[in-house]
Structure 1
Amino acid sequence: MRQLARRLGYDLCRTLVYGPEMGELMQEVRDAISRNEADAVITPSLEHFDGEIPDPLVQVADVITVSPENTYARWRTKPF
């Protein structure tokens, strides 16, 4: 994650670790994004989000997966 962040020009400021006891995980992640004024969330894989990127997350930050490497951008362009 650190190497990918560096290669993409991000400063990895914090690593979040949540356990199964976490109640409102998505709200906690969104709050962390807001507190840190983050532009992106880098995650090892989609499996960390049960196989798909949650819409509430991609509404506030780009989500980048390490394996496979992919970016889910919050700003989508309109088709021509």
Structure 2
Amino acid sequence: MALEKMLEVLRERLDVEKARDSQKAVWQAFWNEAQKESGKPIPCPFCFVHTNQVNRIIPLPNEGKVARGRCEVCRNEYRWPDADA
């Protein structure tokens, strides 16, 4: 499923940004909330680690079998395999 791949990519980015374990746990809680309620943002890992803010990753059109999203604030783009494509 595409969401599992997206989660994997975003967790890897938390590691790249050197998130502390406590930050990862809080970020994961925000991810879980976003999966339960459609109005909740999927949090940008870069913004979360560096500004402690929950900024929304907005969907972009797929590029073939690659799904994409971009943070509405920092403009970082994230890519993951789209298993549904």
Normalising by structure 1, we get a TM-score of 0.30
More strand per residue? 2
Of structures 1 and 2, the one with the larger relative CO (CA 8 A, separation 6+) is 2
Which structure features the higher share of helix residues? 2
TM-score when scaled to structure 2? 0.29
